[in-house]
Each structure stands twice: as structure tokens, then as C-alpha cells.
Chain A
Amino acid sequence: MVISQEEHLKELSKDYRFDWKDESHSVFEPKRGLSKAVVEEISGLKNEPDWMRKRRLKALEHFDARPMPWWGADLSDIDFANIFYFIRSTEKMAANWEDLPEDIKGTWDKLGIPEAEKKYLGGVSAQYESEVVYHKIKKELDDIGVLFTDMDSALRDYPDLVKEHFGTIIPSNDNKFAALNTAVWSGGSFIYVPPGVQVDIPLQAYFRINAENMGQFERTLIIADEGSYVHYVEGCSAPIYSSDSLHSAVVEIKAMKGARVRYTTIQNWSTNVYNLVTKRAAAYEGAVMEWVDGNIGSKVTMKYPSIYLLGQGARGEILSVAFAGKGMHTDAGGKAIHAAPYTTSVINSKSVSKDGGRTGYRGLVRVEPDAHHAKSTVRCDALILDDESRSDTYPYIEVEDETASLGHEATVSKVGDDQLFYLMSRGLSEAEATAMIVNGFIEPITRELPMEYAVELNRLIELQMEGSVG
């Protein structure tokens, strides 16, 4: 069937309410394609120290040398030569929403970020294209030494801290897309929480792509020092275009002795974004690391948040929700590497596919030799809403210590006819009933989200269910 481009766009934008576009705001003429010169230019524009420039160039070599992943989703349509690797939208980062250009500010208003900041956030970072355009942290947090800034500023303001930790959890040659990020990274968050400090209101970053064929490569580094606590929340969206954009982030986290870090993502890119992200955390003695990972949008997602349990008694938890609708392939999951005694991990994955979408859980639980008395449970549940859709489960369990105890369970099912019948006999439409069942299905995960996000996730699911069921 041949469909016109307008029809194609209309189809893509169905039920996606973040589909508005601002005028281009680039402060210089952006260029497509990737080369040594582009990497040098990004580094030059940011006035970076020499070690970072060299690191970027080395990473570009790794990127060029590595083959595309042969597993997971189909990435053969990514046209690396057609991507914008760096777009600067404003000359200066604002600490006040009013200082932003009118339509950029309008975008954040529509996303409700300033409103949320007032109500319940400890700090906000707002990235537009390649750079953070607005940034602010509550004064109380600033006063007790919590550092929360964008990565570019951190490299300038805390060079030693950044140099000490940058790329230590995810080396630039870790995988092809981590290498790409290291070469062209821009923006992202830097967080340092001093020993014993409990940041009891979430810090939030929001990532917005506006331009067509944009490549967004944010780089985030979080260090929670001994006995501290922080909850970081990120969200993202983009307008819908007829050709593809690329989002390839790297997130590195260190949860030091006794610290706890919770990292929550609600990913809702438009369905022309390739979302290829490397996220990894190291949890030291007695630390707790939690990934709460909601993947609702994007054309292709390949993302497996990992936890390296490096200290005795460390604990890791990964909660993952994946949704795939028409034309989407969401390959999500998680990894827990037990490298110390008495470490525990829990992975809980829920996926929903409909209208020909494909969801996957891909995971690894590994117990290294001498990581005695490690315990892990993995549970994956998948819901397939129609006969065109698909669900895959690829759980790897590798055990090199006899005292380890690991379990994995998975189920795949459809929405039960009896459940639907019951709800419809109470007067609900089929779409409402299905949305209610799906919301119930992912409830173990939404209840871990901050209230506003849980409501948002449920609303997204309802929107996705509308129209096409029945």
C-alpha cells in the first residue's frame, strides 16, 4: 500500500500529544554528518580541556571501528550522515524561565515543567536539542553542598570530580553507541550528593528534541556519596517528523557505601526516534540502586539499565515497563552483575504490545565466582493485545558460585475475555476496559513512581489504548 507522506505523519502522530514544533533556534548554522572536524568543533565551542577533546577523538575511532550490533532491533535504517550532531539553541543557560526565547519557554509550559518545579521538585534541568537551556536547584539543597548542574557546566566548574569519574563505569569502547556518545556528548546532568545527605524531593531533567534529524547525546553522571540518598527523574519527548532522529545517551551512576539512588525514566519519544541508551550503575557496600524505567514511546528502543553490585550486601532493583504500538520495537530489560557476597537483585518487567508492535525483555543476571550467597529473582510478564503483535523474552542467567540462588519466571498472555466481559457488562467500553486491565497489569511499577508520574503513565497508556481496540 502506498500512502502519502501526510497520511504517514498523521498515522504516526495519532494520540501523541507532544507533537508541536518550534521554529529553529540554532544560534549557528548546524551541519549534518559526523567527522573528526565535527567532534573538534563541538569540543572547541565548549572550550573543553584537552583531555576531554582527546577522549572524544579516541571514542570516534572506537565508534568507526565497531560493527553495528547484530542482535536486538533492526538499526539498518539509521543514516548517520543525515543526523545533526550538535545544535545550540540559546547563547546562555537561563536560571529563570522568563529569560528563554518565547516559543522555547512555550514548549516547557506545555510540558508543565515550570508548574511541576514549583510544586514538588528539588531542582530542574531542561535540555533542548544539544544543551541545557534552563537550570535551577533549590537553595536549601545548594546550601548543603548538593551539586546538580548540567554536564557541560560541571566539566567547567568541577573539572577534577568529572575527570575522576567520567567514563569509569561505562568506558567509551563499551559498545558502539557509548562510543558515539563519548565522541559527541553534550548536555545531560551532573549530580553529586555529599556523605549522609538525603535529598528527599526528586531532582528532574527533561529532554526535548525539536529539530528533524536531531541527534541528542546527553551524558549524565551521578555520584551519591556514602550514606546519601537521591531520586532523579527524567522525561523526554519530541515532535513527529517523517524522517528519523537519534537519541543516544550515556548515564553513569556511583552509589557509594550505604547510599541509595533511585533513577526514574518516563521515555515518551515520538515514533521516529531511535532510542539507544547505555545506563549503568555501580553499587558499593550496602548500597541500594533502583532503576524505574518506563519506555512508552520511540520507534526503536534498545536499553538495558545495569547494576554492578560491587560491595558486600549491595542491592539492586530494576522495574521496567515497555510498550510498543504500531511500527515500534521496544527492546528493554536490565542487567544485574553480582560481584560481591550477599548481594541481591530483583528485576521486574512488564510489557504490552499492540497494533503490530514488538516488545522484548533482554536481561542478564550474572554471579561472579566468590560472590557467595547472592540472590536474584527475575519476573517478566507480557501482555499481547492483538494477533499482529509480538513479545520476546531473552533472559540470560550465568552462575559461577554454588551458593547463589537465582530464579526467573515469565508469562505471556492476552487480555482475558472474561475480564473484558465483566467490565463491559458494567458499562465500560472495550477501550476503557482494556486500558483499565493494562493499567492494573503495570500497577506494580506505577506505584513506585512519584504520584504525578504515575498519573501521567496511566494517562499515556489510556491514550495508547484509545481508538484501535475492538
Chain B
Amino acid sequence: MTTFDRAALDALPIAPGATGAIRERAFGQFEALPTPSSETEEWRYTDLSDFSLDFVPHMPGHDGGAPAPETGGLAASMIQHNSSVVMTTSGQDLDARGVIFCDLDVAAEKYPHLVEPHLHALVPTDRTRFTALHGAFRTGGTFLYVPADVAVEMPLQTLTYLDADGAAVFPHTLLVAERGAEVTFIDRYASPDLGRGLSDAIVEIVVGDGAHVRYASIQEWGAGVTHLAVQRATVGRDADFRSLAVGFGASLSRAEAETVLAEPGGFSEMLGVFFADDDQHFDHRSVQDHVAPNCTSDLLYKGALRDESRAVFSGWVHVRPGAQKTDAMQTSRNIVLSERAKADAIPNLEIEANDVRCGHAASVGPVEEETLFYLQSRGIPRDEAERLVVTGFFQEVLDRVTLEEVRHGAELAIQEELRRAI
């Protein structure tokens, strides 16, 4: 059953500009598309055939409804509470340099020429039933636009906070960095533990020629939340894109991260750390799509699993015909901390050019009992020893995060998660 019907659609706040047409089209697609079947390769590890779409379709937020995040070290920040953007801070300096950072719906009204060419261009609404649902019911979201040759030194951040039990949110980030621009953006998702909740998220990132974009997502949804996310970035000529995904929360999280190396000389780094416990189910999917020659991509995902959790990593490296001199690497490492946890890894390669360097590596294994024993023999309690080992395991990823604010934020989130879980 679903509560996402015509009446609910008609009850949404008016969609500005072109988003009205997107909303209508997406609703039609949502009604027509089937729930993805676990019979298909893409969904074989996440079965949503019995997933009920019985959620409050729209839950207005209010100012002060979300805990104010720490904003030190940030150039600007935004808060979305449930379905509404409730606060945006933006420095004078950013406005003066032409940087736009605001509610996506506001942007669709005020800057249609900047929003329309990109909204749902990388992640079309008809990709799946869930992206269609997103296209139909999204309100709020983040628009970040950086004009050519403008460098924003400090990161910008959006916190999406959900606290209404049984509600759905549709976080959307549309980030456009023009030629030669530089920017860092952080998406944070958080909620208390809920009976049920749905986060149906889309992130679209356009990295212009010669631009440098860093993107981090920190997912700390509470228990009860189902997080279905699609992130897709396209990288221009001689541009670089570095992303970090930190995943701790939600009962079920299925996160797809895709980078298209569309023009020669592009670089993509995709880092991920995740920690699963209780009966959490994580399904991470990645794509490194080398369309143009002379591009480099490097992916490293590390995960630790405890209790009865389950984590799947499936990655794809595509090297398209003509994408010569590609250098692509894909690594998935998993440690399993308890006997009922399950980890799967499927690092795929599809290579249609010959002058390439491609590799992948995957491993799944236990924490070495000797390591724990050594730490314990030095008087460190077992829990603390386990925390140390996991921290060390993740450190390889964090060491590659160059921006201090981002790394520090991720480290804090990891420490908090480990203290809670172990």
C-alpha cells in the first residue's frame, strides 16, 4: 500500500518554476514503475518487495526544530527540518562572489536558468520507483552554485534532520561547480531513533572543467529509518572530485555512488567508511565510469560489522571503448567483529580499452585475535581494544581526507558511533 497518492501530491506546497512539471511527470512514473525486484542483479541483496510505502508524505518543519549543528569552520550552513528548509546562513562574502547556497525550491524560482539544466539530469526521476517518488514528493533540498574560477575555502554544510515518526523526507543536493571553481560541501543526515522513517535521497554533482569539488556525506539516521540514496557526479576536463561517504545509521541503508569521468584528465576519489551493528543492513553500490581517456579513479571502502548486521559492497569499474590510459582502482575491505554478521563483496570490472591499468581488491576477515590479545595484555579492556582496532582500520581512509574540517567531523562521528556500539 502507499500513502503517496494523488490527494497527497495535490496537498504539497506549490512547486515553483519547472519543478511543477517534474513533479507531475515523476508521479506518473512512480505509479507506473514496479518496486525493484530482488530478482534483478541491482537489487539482489536488498529485498524491498514487502516494503510498505505507508509514510506521512509531507511533514512541514519549523525553525528551531532541529538541533543547531556546530557551525565553526563552515563558510555557510543550512538546516532542513523534516520536509522544509528552516534556516540558511550565508556569508556576505559568498553572495558578493556570486556563490548561491539556498533551498532548492527557492533556487528553482529565482535561478531557473541555473537549476533547470541540471535538476534530475544526472539522476532521472524514472531511474527507479524510488527516484520517481523523490521527483514527485520532494520539497526543500540544497542548491549550491559556484561560478567560474571562484574558490570557496571553507566547507558548506546542510543538515537534514528528521524527527517525525512515520514521515518521509526527500533530501536533494544539486551542486554545480563551474569551470575552475573550488568548493567543499558536507551533507549530514540525522534523526533520533524512530518507529519508522523514510529517507529517499538524491545527490547530483556537476564538476566543471578544471574545477575541484570535495563532497562528504555523513549518514547518522536513527534506527527505524530506511535510507535509499543515489549520488551521481560528472567530472569535467582536468577536474577533480573527491568524495567521502560515512555511514553509521538507519536500519536499512542502500547507497549508490557513481562518478562519470566524462572528459579527459579527470580524477575521482571515492572513499567510504561504514560501521554496522544490531540488525542493520547496508547495501553499498559504486560505479566508476570511465568514458573519456586519461582519467584516474580510485575507490576505497572500509567497513566493520558487528552483531547480526549485514553489509554488501558491489562496485563497478567501466572502461568504455576509447578510454585509453585509464587508471582505475577499486578496493573493498571488511572486518567482521561477531559471528552472526555477514559481509559480501562484489568488485566488478568491465573493460573495453586495452591501454589501461585497472585493478580491484576485496577482502573479508575477522579481527586478529592476536591483536586484541596483545592490547588486552597491556591492560586495555576488550571493548576499548576493539574500538582501537576499528579506529585504526578506518584511519587509512581518514588519512586521505585532506580537509581538516571534514576529517575532524568524520573522526568525531566515528568515535561517537564506536562508543555507542561497543
**Could you list which residues of chain A lie within 8 angstroms of chain B, going by C-beta atoms?**
71, 382, 384-414
**Could you list which residues of chain B lie within 8 angstroms of chain A, going by C-beta atoms?**
41, 321-322, 324, 334, 336-366
3 smallest A-B Cβ distances: which pairs?
A: A384-B354, A393-B349, A402-B336
Chain B interface secondary structure, helix, strand, loop or mixed? strand
Contact A390 B339 (CB under 8 A): no
Chain B residues, CB < 8 A from A390: 350-352
**A392 vs B339: C-alpha distance in the bound complex, in angstroms?**
33
> Which of B322, B342, B355, B359 is A410 in contact with, Cβ under 8 Å?
B359
Contact A400 B362 (CB under 8 A): no
> Could you list 29 A-B pairs, sorted by A, with CB under 8 Å?
A71-B41, A384-B351, A385-B354, A386-B354, A387-B324, A387-B353, A388-B321, A390-B350, A390-B351, A392-B349, A393-B349, A393-B360, A395-B346, A395-B347, A397-B364, A399-B336, A402-B340, A402-B341, A402-B366, A405-B365, A408-B345, A408-B347, A408-B360, A408-B361, A410-B347, A411-B357, A412-B349, A412-B351, A412-B358
Contact B346 A394 (CB under 8 A): yes
**A326 vs B380: C-alpha distance in the bound complex, in angstroms?**
62
Chain A residues, CB < 8 A from B350: 390, 392-393
Contact B349 A399 (CB under 8 A): no
Chain A residues, CB < 8 A from B351: 382, 384, 390-392, 412
**A390 vs B352: C-alpha distance in the bound complex, in angstroms?**
4
**A393 vs B355: C-alpha distance in the bound complex, in angstroms?**
17
Contact A406 B364 (CB under 8 A): yes
A363 CB to nearest B CB, Å: 10
A55 CB to nearest B CB, Å: 28
Chain A residues, CB < 8 A from B357: 411-413
Chain B residues, CB < 8 A from A382: 351
Q: A384-B354, A391-B351, A413-B357 are in contact. Are A399 and B364 (CB under 8 A)?
A: yes
B293 CB to nearest A CB, Å: 11
Contact B363 A407 (CB under 8 A): yes
A125 CB to nearest B CB, Å: 39
A126 CB to nearest B CB, Å: 39
Contact A409 B360 (CB under 8 A): yes
Chain B residues, CB < 8 A from A412: 349, 351, 356-359
Contact A404 B339 (CB under 8 A): no
> Which residue on A lies nearest to B329, using beta carbons?
A411
**A385 vs B355: C-alpha distance in the bound complex, in angstroms?**
9
Contact B354 A387 (CB under 8 A): yes
A50 CB to nearest B CB, Å: 37
Contact A405 B344 (CB under 8 A): no
> Which of A388, A393, A394, A404 is B364 in contact with, Cβ under 8 Å?
A404
> Which residue on A lies nearest to B339, using beta carbons?
A402
A438 CB to nearest B CB, Å: 13
Given contact pairs A403-B366, A408-B345, A410-B361, enumerate 14 new A-B contacts (beta carbons under 8 Å): A385-B354, A391-B351, A392-B351, A393-B348, A395-B348, A396-B344, A399-B343, A399-B344, A399-B364, A406-B365, A408-B362, A410-B358, A411-B358, A412-B349
A359 CB to nearest B CB, Å: 10
Which of B347, B348, B350, B364 is most buried by chain A, counting CB atoms within 10 A of its CB?
B364
Chain A residues, CB < 8 A from B359: 409-412
Contact A396 B343 (CB under 8 A): no
Chain A residues, CB < 8 A from B358: 410-413
**A396 vs B44: C-alpha distance in the bound complex, in angstroms?**
12
**A403 vs B339: C-alpha distance in the bound complex, in angstroms?**
7
B234 CB to nearest A CB, Å: 24
